[in-house]
Amino acid sequence: MVLYLTFLSLSYKISFLEYLYEGKLKVISNILTELRSTYQLILVSFLILSCSSSTTEESSERRTIDSLYSSDMSYLALLNSEDKRYILTILQDTLHILDSTIASEGYHTPLINMSWSDLALTVKVDNDFGDNIRELKFDYSSNYTPKKDPKTKISQITLTDKIYLSGSERHFNNSENCEFYFPCDCCMGKLLFTSASNYMLVNYCMSDFVVTKGTYEMRDGSITLNSDGSRIDVKYNYEREANPDAKPAFFVEGSTTSGYQLNYRIDTCTRTMLVSERDNGTFIAIETDLQLTDELEHLKEFQLAELLELK
């Protein structure tokens, strides 16, 4: 599988001296992302790339620049391994990888399963100061062969008493480890299926969290969550940073909202996976080994038993 990213149009200005003294090159562009395989073109994406040198010594900076550009600044240059590793990190954090059409057919798109050593980046410039980068292309090859998961596995899935870890697909690796990585403070949640028809969704943001709940229905390989409109906000009392004895430790506030509906399709990687395509992106929930009783006891520690109707 080969991934080509090519500039549609680009007018990008950079000071060469600024790069020399600060050791940074930033490229911000609209990029047409095409993934061609045996089945179809699947993705058009907006991608922001930024690559920088970690060194501050002029001699080292000069070597980095020389690895980017030739003396006449007009050839296709291959970034060194350190630069490629940084670029790959940016790709993994920004590239949207699950197309709804392919996903509905049961395929897994393996873009996130990239090895930095297999990533080749070429940059073409056309004057002495690199004022116009005309082409940026990534070549990536993978031995991954997409395959459908047997429907019999999906039909045997049960959710009762299960806990799923949830987050954006941008923080998910589904072709290698089937795991999340969370580089931010407010991007993780837990989906608790407390019975055959009830759920709780806990979304975390640093020391705070929000709990919503409702009912769910599983049908034909999909799950629909219907919120009952209740919402509980648990917020840390930051006065305790200066006075550890300040009470209470957390503020708890219950409220009623208009509610929401979330639709997931059931899929699998190395474990059961739920996928939800929404207007603001694709979100994943993966099965965990966490114990429901432990999670509910933890919520009770915040005096939420009555609000959550816990026994």
Q: Taking the model in full, what pTM does it have?
A: 0.53
15 or 84: whose pLDDT is higher? Answer: 84
What's phi and psi for 4, nearest 5 deg? -110, 125
153 or 292: whose pLDDT is higher? Answer: 292
Task: Write out the two tokens for 311.
Answer: 């026994």
Per residue in 37-82, pLDDT tens? 322 223 323 233 333 333 333 333 333 333 333 333 232 344 455 5
From the list 192, 236, 182, 241, the residue with the least C-alpha distance to 212 is 192
Q: What is the DSSP letter of 105?
A: T
CATH code of the domain covering residue 175: 2.40.128.530
Does the pLDDT at position 198 exceed 80? Answer: yes
The span from the CA of 110 to the CA of 2, in Å, is 11
- 276, part of any domain: yes
The mean of the pLDDT values for the chain is 64
Answer yes or no: do 42 and 181 share one domain. Answer: no
Does the pLDDT at position 197 exceed 80? Answer: yes
Q: Is 27 helix (H, G, I), strand (E, B) or coil?
A: strand
Mark which of 113, 139, 165 sits at the end of a domain.
139
* Burial of 25: CB neighbours in 10 Å, binned 0-12, 13-18, 19+: buried
The mean pLDDT value for 178-198 works out to 87
Mark which of 109, 139, 169 sits at the end of a domain.
139
Q: Is 203 helix (H, G, I), strand (E, B) or coil?
A: strand
**Range among 24-38, 86-100, 253-267 with highest mean pLDDT value:** 253-267
Range of the domain at 231: 151-300
Per residue in 124-166, pLDDT tens? 444 444 444 444 444 444 333 334 444 445 667 889 999 999 9
Task: Write out the two tokens for 159.
Answer: 């959710």
Per residue in 24-39, pLDDT tens? 333 323 332 333 332 2
Mark which of 98, 113, 139 sits at the end of a domain.
139
